[in-house]
Amino acid sequence: MNVVITGHGVVSAIGSGRAAFAAGLQAGACGVAPIQRFDASAYRSQVAAEVHEDLRSGAWRAWAEASGVPLTERRGRAAGFALSALAEALAEAGLHVGDLANPATGLAFGGSTAGMPEAEGGLLDSDGDYWAEADPTVFLSTPVGSTAAVLARALRVGGPVTTISTACSSATNAIGLGLNWLRRGYCDRVVVGGSDAHCRLTHAGFCSLSLVAPERPLPFDARRQGMVIGEGAAFFVLESEETARARGAGVIGQLLGFGNGAEAFHLVQPRADGAGAASAMGTALDDAGLAADAVDYVNAHGTATPANDVSEAAGVHRVFGGRAASLPVSSTKSQVGHILGASGAVELAAVLAAMAGGFLPPTAGWAERDEAIDLDTVPTSRPGDVGVALSNSFAFGGNDSSVCVAHPDWRRS
C-alpha cells in the first residue's frame, strides 16, 4: 500500500502555519531568544525557542472554521499547539472533524510534556500546601496520554487512539505507528503528529545534564555547546493513496517507510560508532524498499550536543558510504530548537517544506567544521530537488527512529 500525506500543519518558533514556517526555514531564521515563559535567571541557560504567536486568530481562525477544530477547547499549552496545527492540517486535507467520526479514522500522538507547564506551576509557585490548593483538572493533564484524549474528543475520532512517549523520538514513532495502522487495514485515515511545550521541568533537567547551550545551538559545528529547547507541534493526515485519490485530495508527500530500534547501550549516551543511528535509517530504507542511493537529503536529529552529532555523522557514513560526505544533511533544530517529543513531527514538516519549495533547509549558524563530522551540513539554504528524504529522531533510552518520505511526484524507477 502506498501511504500519502494529504494535509499538515505546523507551529514553531520560526513561524507558525506551513507558509510562515517554510519561509523562515528557507531564510535561515532562528527562533532562539531569551526565555519569556518563566524566570530563567537561575538556570544555566536562559534561552529557548518559544512560540509567542496568537494561534487562535487570523489564518488559524479560518482553518478552524474550515475544519471544525475547536481552538477554544484547550487544556494546556501543548494541547493548544496541537489543536492549531490540526486545524491547519485538516483544512489542507479538505477534511472536517465530522469526517473523522468513524472507526476507520485513528489518531497516533507523540509527545513528552503534555500538561506539565501548567501542572508544575502549581507546585513550583506554591508556598503552601500544593495538594490543598491544587486544581485536580490541571493534574489530570499531566500524564502524557491526556493530550491525545483532548485531541480525540475535539476531532471526534472514532478509531484507535494512542500516545507513544519515547522521549525525543515520540512523534516519529507515532508517525510510524500510523503508517502501520493503514498498512494493516485498521484505518483508512490516521492523524499523526506531536506537540510539546517548554516547561521548567525539562529545562532544569537538560541543564542539570549540561546538555543545554547558553546561546543558539550550532549542530555539527566545532563550536557547538549543546541543544536549546524549543516548543511547537506538527500534525499530518495520512491516507492510502487510493483513498486520497478517490476523494480528490491533494497529495503533499508519500510516507514510504519507518525504522526504529534500541541501542541497548546507555540511557542517555548514543553509541559513538553510530550503529544505532545507522540501524534506524537502514530499517526505514528497507521498509521503503529502497537502497541508500535513492536518498537525496537527510534531516538529521542534529541536537548540537557533542556526542549526538558525532554519533549521527558516523551513522550517516555507515549507511551512505562514499556518498556520505556529499549528501546534504542538515539540522532543523538550529532554527526551531529541540522540540523534544514533537521534534520528529516538526522536522518531517521541514522535509515537506523543502520538497514543495525546491530547497535544502540549512543548518543555520554552521561555520566551523568539526574534523570528526565529515558531512555537507548545508550552512545556508540552497536550491535543491528533494525526491526522497530521511528524517531522524534519536532519544533517551537509546531509542532511534527514522522515517523515509518522498515528494508527491516521485515514482520508483
Partner 1 sequence: MNAVIAAVGLATPLGFGREAFVDAWRAGASAPRVAGGDEAGGVRLSQALKLRGWFPEQRASLRRMDRLSKIIAASAALCREDAGGLDAAAALAVGTDLGTLEGTWAFLSRLRDKGPALANPNEFPNLVPNAGAGYVGIFCGLQGPSHTFCQHETCGDDAIAWAAEGVDEGRFPSAVAGGAEELGAVRCRATAAAGCADGVPGEGGALVLLERSSARGLAQVLASRGAFAPPRSPVRREPAAEALQSLVRRALDAAEVAAADVGAVLLSDGGADLNAAVDAVLGAGVPRTDHAARVGQHPADAGFRVALGALLLADRSLPVHVDGDGCGGSAVLVVSAARGGTLRATVLGACS
Q: Give the whole-angstrom CA distance, residue 266 versus residue 289.
A: 30
Amino acid of residue 176:
G
List binders of partner 1 among 95-114 (CB under 8 A): 103, 106-107, 112
Angle between helices 77-93 and 59-67 (to 10 degrees): 70
List binders of partner 1 among 205-234 (CB under 8 A): 205-210
Alpha-carbon torsion, ordered 21, 29, 198, 344, to 10 deg: 60
Shortest distance, position 162 Cβ to partner 1, whole Å = 4
Grid coordinates in use for 410? 516521485
Closest C-alpha among 154, 159, 147 to residue 195: 147
Q: Give the whole-angstrom CA distance, residue 201 versus residue 292.
A: 39
Is-contact 332 350, C-beta < 8 A?
Answer: yes
Shortest distance, position 116 Cβ to partner 1, whole Å = 8
Q: Give the whole-angstrom CA distance, residue 234 versus residue 195.
A: 7
Residue 18 within binding range of partner 1, rule CB under 8 A: no
Closest CB to partner 1 among 57 and 208?
208
Shortest distance, position 346 Cβ to partner 1, whole Å = 19
Q: Give the whole-angstrom CA distance, residue 308 versus residue 311.
A: 5
Residue 290 within binding range of partner 1, rule CB under 8 A: no
Shortest distance, position 88 Cβ to partner 1, whole Å = 22
Closest CB to partner 1 among 177 and 360?
177
Closest CB to partner 1 among 247 and 265?
265
Q: Which of 203, 301, 317, 407 is catalytic?
A: 301
Among 70, 387, 397, 408, binds partner 1 (CB under 8 A): 397
Q: Give the whole-angstrom CA distance, residue 389 versus residue 410.
A: 11
Is-contact 86 116, C-beta < 8 A?
Answer: no
Grid coordinates in use for 230? 524549543
Is-contact 158 334, C-beta < 8 A?
Answer: no
Q: Is 30 a catalytic residue?
A: no
Residue 265 within binding range of partner 1, rule CB under 8 A: yes
Residue 396 within binding range of partner 1, rule CB under 8 A: yes
Return the beta strands (E) in 14-104 as ranges: 33-34, 47-48
Residue 260 within binding range of partner 1, rule CB under 8 A: yes
Q: b/e map of 191-215 (b: 16 or more CB within 10 Å)?
A: bbbbbbbbbbbbbbebbeeebbbee
Residue 136 within binding range of partner 1, rule CB under 8 A: yes
Residue 34 within binding range of partner 1, rule CB under 8 A: no
Grid coordinates in use for 250? 491533494
Backbone φ/ψ region at 114: left (φ over 0), alpha (ψ -120 to 50), beta: left
Among 7, 24, 31, 160, binds partner 1 (CB under 8 A): 160
Q: Is 338 a catalytic residue?
A: yes
Q: What angle do CA 110, 114, 116 make, to 5 degrees?
A: 150
Q: Which of 30, 168, 199, 404 is catalytic?
A: 168
**Considering CB under 8 A, how many residues would be counted as binding partner 1?**
69
Interface stretch with partner 1, choices 21-29, 142-150, 227-235, 248-256 (CB under 8 A): 142-150
Closest CB to partner 1 among 165 and 392?
165
Residue 380 within binding range of partner 1, rule CB under 8 A: no
Among 52, 57, 153, 326, binds partner 1 (CB under 8 A): 153
List binders of partner 1 among 168-207 (CB under 8 A): 173, 177, 180, 184, 186, 200-201, 203-207
Q: What angle do CA 275, 179, 406 make, to 5 degrees?
A: 75
Among 395, 404, 405, 406, binds partner 1 (CB under 8 A): 395
Closest CB to partner 1 among 37 and 44?
44
Residue 163 within binding range of partner 1, rule CB under 8 A: yes
Binding site for partner 1 (CB under 8 A): 42-44, 103, 106-107, 112, 120, 123-124, 126, 131, 134, 136-137, 139-140, 142-146, 148-150, 152-153, 156-167, 173, 177, 180, 184, 186, 200-201, 203-210, 260-268, 279, 395-399
Q: Which residues are catalytic?
A: 168, 301, 338
